[in-house]
Amino acid sequence: MSKLLSKLRFFHDVAQGREAGNSAIRQFESDKNLLSISFIRELIQNAIDAWNKNSDQPVKLIFRLVDVESKHQKTLKDLFKPIMPFIKMGISNNKLEFAYQDKNLYKKALIVEEYNTIGLTGEYNRKKNNEESWHYSNYLFGVNRATKNEGGGSAGVGKITSNMVSDLKAVLFVTSRSDDNKVWAGGRVEFVASHTFGDQSFDNCAFLSNNDIQKQINDLTEDDRDSICAPISNKSDIDLIKEIFKLERPDSEFGTSWIMPAPVHQVDQKAKKELTSVDSYKKIILDEYSWAIVNGLIEIELDGELINKESVMGILNEVYPEKNELSNFMLDVSTFSDTNYIRLKPNWFSCEDLSDAFITENDKNKAFEIFDSENRQTLGLKLPLKLSKQLNDDTYFLMYIQRGEDVSGKSNELVIRDYLPISGVAKSLLSISGDAVNSMLLITEEKLVKFCRSAEQADHTDFVISRAVARGYKHAFARDNINAIKGATKKIYQFFNDIDIHDEDILADIFSVLTIKDIEKGPKNKKNKRKKRKTKNTRKSTIRIKKMDMKEITKSHIKFYPGSNPIGVNEIPLTVKISIEEPALLGSKSNILNYGCDGFKNSNITSSNINIKNKSRDHIEFEITDPDFELNISNLDVSRGVNFPVEY
């Protein structure tokens, strides 16, 4: 074996104040993320964020599954041998289940090579935690970032997917840096937990190193650790990594080559299995990044098949022929003219009747004309927002809507931040009982993109008010803007379809429960509207017996007490579940989590003849132990339009 190989090793330090469990892995698994989907989302998002703006070419990612030659398999086995007990050990000494047999762990690797990015730039600093750069990509997983106003992730939950997609929990990389033209390599292995052997507790991660300081591990100084964990810059070592994993990106091409040995695949809640082909990622890429590809922002090569702006429509129609309408709608939006937007007034979201939100009557008539056009034109609206009281904090997002080919079919809804679909927000038209539409909410204005990134959950699927507030935005503006973004599609759909909607206070009819909206809205608006169109789909509600009434409703306080049809003694104890839902059209529902409020989570409860069984953000469950009962809930955090459905 070459002497060069003895240089590369994994440095596994003693635990230094980190908790025993690996917080990033634990958070990733507790969120029930699907590994392959999360991996593709994070990998491509990071590549787009690292786009080299001096290049006139889109970001390009090339995926390959490579076979490691037998002579190098022994090298990798020797490299991982000292830390294999830590890799295999779970929590409480329960060994992990592997998708690969031991003899196959070093036979293949997933390679993803970036082109037209800036590479992993920035200084080397093991502990600095306030900016995106090379050190953060390697060292600060499991640590919340110090900066408040960048990005949606935390605790390395997103970036750790590169480790999770390897059965060895390992990621290695070679990066060509645009800031200093240097080529560096690195690598990191994450363990499920730190473990104690003898009188030493070892950290829950290890780093690739070629600097072996001859000291006992307890005698290492911080300078020693900095030296050991420094990036690998020796050309011979980097060339060895390139040779083992058959990297093809030349050093002259800025970007990063990622290496995941023993790659695994998971697209459902079943156990992870060996990744057998990069073609397995095709549907995920099309689901998550079709918009970015249609716009020419990124192109993907999967084992020789190129998915780019020119080819994506054909590939979409081949893979998803049933989504042909949605694909064509995205193409329409990508070529929408800047001169065709209709701008609404700044107070558009607070208008009970959206007719009042148009700047002129001509704008409103033009909007209806476009939406109702025989050739199904796409209507584009510019919706203003304000991030603070500052004059220069005006911002906006764009909304596109088009009648569906089959109005009795299913609506297509997209919410895109920059290039990334925010899937948890694109649910307001699910199961809607009205004419089908195609819709897209597009957030591209720089200030609003920054705000939305600050509010994004770690998995980038939702916007949460408290996250934006934690990053420095005022609560009132964060709440209003997130509610407007999340409520825009339904509000605009409702206006342009202009359908007869089941009584907004559904629960007052069914459960004798008034809603906040009912208290606030006052007399019905008698303004004339255009004639309502009948929809193809209708649903009927079910009448329930009034076992419970509700009063003293304010935005933060509700009270429940016996209804007009009291609970019989033979029904005691009666289990009741009260949820928080935003009423949509004709009985469809949207969970409170989609609106970023705390709901019941931090509420205060006083009661008589009631036992609380369970309380979460979106529901509370309790037992009524006597027909004469009372339940008071205060400090309730909800949006103004919610309802409280009751299940017995």
Q: Can you tell me the distance from the alpha carbon of 586 to that of 41, in angstroms, rounded to the nearest whole number?
A: 34
Q: Can you tell me the distance from the alpha carbon of 283 to that of 303, in angstroms, rounded to the nearest whole number?
A: 14
Asked whether residue 320 carries a pLDDT value surpassing 90, the answer given is yes
More reliable by pLDDT, 21 or 74: 74
Q: What integer pLDDT is reported at residue 502 of this predicted model?
A: 39
Averaging pLDDT over each range in 25-34, 66-75, 592-601, 615-624, which range is the top one? 66-75
Q: What integer pLDDT is reported at residue 548 of this predicted model?
A: 55
What are the residues whose beta carbons fall under 8 Å from the beta carbon of 146, sequence distance 6 or more? 129, 130
Q: Can you tell me the distance from the alpha carbon of 138 to that of 125, in angstroms, rounded to the nearest whole number?
A: 10
251-302 pLDDT per residue, tens:
999 999 999 999 999 888 788 899 999 999 999 999 999 999 999 999 999 9
- Mean pLDDT calculated for residue range 336-354: 95
More reliable by pLDDT, 61 or 628: 61
Averaging pLDDT over each range in 19-33, 206-220, 570-584, which range is the top one? 206-220
Q: What integer pLDDT is reported at residue 469 of this predicted model?
A: 94
60-119 pLDDT per residue, tens:
999 999 999 999 999 999 999 999 988 888 765 566 789 999 999 999 999 999 999 999
Assigned token pair, 513: 């429960």
- Mean pLDDT calculated for residue range 609-638: 85
**Cα-based torsion angle of the residue sequence 272, 25, 46, 453 in order, rounded to the nearest 10 degrees:** 120
Q: Can you tell me the distance from the alpha carbon of 632 to that of 291, in angstroms, rounded to the nearest whole number?
A: 47
Q: Which of 297, 350, 218, 265 minimizes the C-alpha distance to 55?
A: 297
What are the residues whose beta carbons fall under 8 Å from the beta carbon of 327, sequence distance 6 or more? 290, 313, 316, 317, 320
Q: What integer pLDDT is reported at residue 32 of this predicted model?
A: 65
More reliable by pLDDT, 595 or 31: 31
Q: Can you tell me the distance from the alpha carbon of 84 to that of 106, in angstroms, rounded to the nearest whole number?
A: 12
Q: Is the dihedral of CA 347, 352, 356, 362 positive or negative?
A: positive
Q: Which of 488, 411, 503, 508 minimizes the C-alpha distance to 448?
A: 488
User: For the residues of 472-497, what is the DSSP string, one character each?
Assistant: T--HHHHHHHHHHHHHHHHHHHHHHH
Assigned token pair, 457: 């959950």
Q: Is the Cβ–Cβ distance between 611 and 593 less than 8 Å? A: no
Expressed in angstroms, the distance from the first to the final Cα of the chain is: 71
Q: What integer pLDDT is reported at residue 596 of this predicted model?
A: 55
Confidence of residue 466 (pLDDT cuts 50, 70, 90): very high
User: For the residues of 138-188, what is the DSSP string, one character each?
Assistant: HH-TTS--S-SSS-S--TTTTTTHHHHTBTT-EEEEEEE-TTT--EEEEEE
Asked whether residue 331 carries a pLDDT value surpassing 70, the answer given is yes
Percentage above 70 pLDDT, the chain: 78
More reliable by pLDDT, 184 or 640: 184
| Least reliable range by pLDDT among 289-298, 342-351, 533-542 | 533-542
Assigned token pair, 8: 């590369």
Q: Can you tell me the distance from the alpha carbon of 424 to that of 327, in angstroms, rounded to the nearest whole number?
A: 20
More reliable by pLDDT, 275 or 635: 275
Phi, psi of 548 (to 5 degrees): -145, 140
Asked whether residue 136 carries a pLDDT value surpassing 50, the answer given is no
Q: Which of 485, 458, 480, 460 minimizes the C-alpha distance to 469?
A: 480
Confidence of residue 498 (pLDDT cuts 50, 70, 90): low
What are the residues whose beta carbons fall under 8 Å from the beta carbon of 33, sequence distance 6 or more? 161, 459
More reliable by pLDDT, 53 or 395: 395
User: 3-state DSSP call for residue 523?
Assistant: coil
Confidence of residue 204 (pLDDT cuts 50, 70, 90): confident
Q: What integer pLDDT is reported at residue 526 of this predicted model?
A: 42
Averaging pLDDT over each range in 561-575, 588-602, 604-618, which range is the top one? 604-618
More reliable by pLDDT, 127 or 61: 61
Assigned token pair, 601: 């989570």
Q: What integer pLDDT is reported at residue 593 of this predicted model?
A: 47
Q: Can you tell me the distance from the alpha carbon of 62 to that of 278, in angstroms, rounded to the nearest whole number?
A: 10
> Burial of 3 by CB count in 10 Å (0-12 exposed, 13-18 middle, 19+ buried)?
exposed
Task: Check whether the bond before 566 is cis (ω within 30° of 0).
Answer: no
Q: What integer pLDDT is reported at residue 218 of this predicted model?
A: 84
Q: Is the Cβ–Cβ distance between 393 and 447 less than 8 Å? A: yes
Q: Can you tell me the distance from the alpha carbon of 316 to that of 323, in angstroms, rounded to the nearest whole number?
A: 8
377-413 pLDDT per residue, tens:
999 999 999 999 988 899 999 999 999 998 888 899 9
What are the residues whose beta carbons fall under 8 Å from the beta carbon of 372, sequence distance 6 or more? 403
Confidence of residue 14 (pLDDT cuts 50, 70, 90): confident
Q: What integer pLDDT is reported at residue 641 of this predicted model?
A: 57
* Cα Rg of the chain, angstroms: 28
- Mean pLDDT calculated for residue range 234-241: 93
Asked whether residue 475 carries a pLDDT value surpassing 90, the answer given is yes
Is the pTM for the entire model greater than 0.85?
no
Q: Can you tell me the distance from the alpha carbon of 480 to that of 486, in angstroms, rounded to the nearest whole number?
A: 10
Q: Which of 368, 363, 628, 408 minimizes the C-alpha distance to 498?
A: 368
> Burial of 84 by CB count in 10 Å (0-12 exposed, 13-18 middle, 19+ buried)?
middle
Q: What integer pLDDT is reported at residue 148 of this predicted model?
A: 41
Q: Pairing state of beta strands 255-261 and 9-11? A: unpaired
Confidence of residue 19 (pLDDT cuts 50, 70, 90): low
Residue type at 105? L
Percentage above 90 pLDDT, the chain: 47
Q: Is the Cβ–Cβ distance between 155 and 249 less than 8 Å? A: no
Q: What integer pLDDT is reported at residue 252 of this predicted model?
A: 94
Where are the extended beta strands (E) located within 262-308? 264-265, 273-274, 298-302, 305-307
Q: Can you tell me the distance from the alpha carbon of 128 to that of 107, in angstroms, rounded to the nearest whole number?
A: 36
144-159 pLDDT per residue, tens:
444 444 444 444 556 7
Asked whether residue 501 carries a pLDDT value surpassing 90, the answer given is no
Q: Which residue has the tokens 């701008």?
A: 343
More reliable by pLDDT, 398 or 548: 398
Asked whether residue 588 carries a pLDDT value surpassing 70, the answer given is no
More reliable by pLDDT, 78 or 34: 78
> Burial of 296 by CB count in 10 Å (0-12 exposed, 13-18 middle, 19+ buried)?
middle
> Burial of 314 by CB count in 10 Å (0-12 exposed, 13-18 middle, 19+ buried)?
exposed
Average pLDDT, the chain: 81
What are the residues whose beta carbons fall under 8 Å from the beta carbon of 314, sequence distance 6 or more? none
Asked whether residue 27 carries a pLDDT value surpassing 90, the answer given is no
Asked whether residue 510 carries a pLDDT value surpassing 70, the answer given is no
More reliable by pLDDT, 78 or 564: 78
| Least reliable range by pLDDT among 87-96, 115-124, 193-202 | 87-96
